[in-house]
Amino acid sequence: MKTIKQTYRIEAPIEGVWEALVNPSEIDAWGGGSAVMDDKVGTEFSLWNGDIHGKNIEVKQYELLKQEWVSGDWPEPSIVTFLLTPNGNGTKVDLVHENIPDKETKEIEEGWKKYYLGEVKNLLEA
């Protein structure tokens, strides 16, 4: 099992970045829909029509979102952590994705850039 660590600097207020991670209409706007999501511990969520699903396991509004993620036939959930910190007029997002099946690491690493946080950045900076 592998771990991915990435950092994004998004030129948008922390509240906007937070909403892009937890608000279904914002998630739909950057391409992760049809989404079921909120910012409550214990919420079972789904993205991309259920291709990714899991549960919120730790939430600190505007600061930390930690989730169990499942995709395909993974034997156990992976853990995704988003840590948000103010960065000038924008927001720094530190992503840690742990417990990824070895054979899927490269594809998931690129997916974060192309389909998830890269798209959040594109939406919020447009």
pLDDT tens for each residue of 20-34 = 999 999 999 999 989
What CATH number belongs to 2-125?
3.30.530.20
Q: Give residue 59's pLDDT.
A: 98
CB 52 within 8 A of CB 39: no
State the average pLDDT over residues 105-114: 94
Alpha helices in 7-116 (DSSP H): 14-22, 24-30, 105-111
SS3 state of residue 6: strand
For the chain, the domains span 2-125
pLDDT tens, 50-102? 999 999 999 999 999 999 999 888 889 999 999 999 999 999 999 999 999 99
CA 78/CA 102 separation, integer angstroms? 12
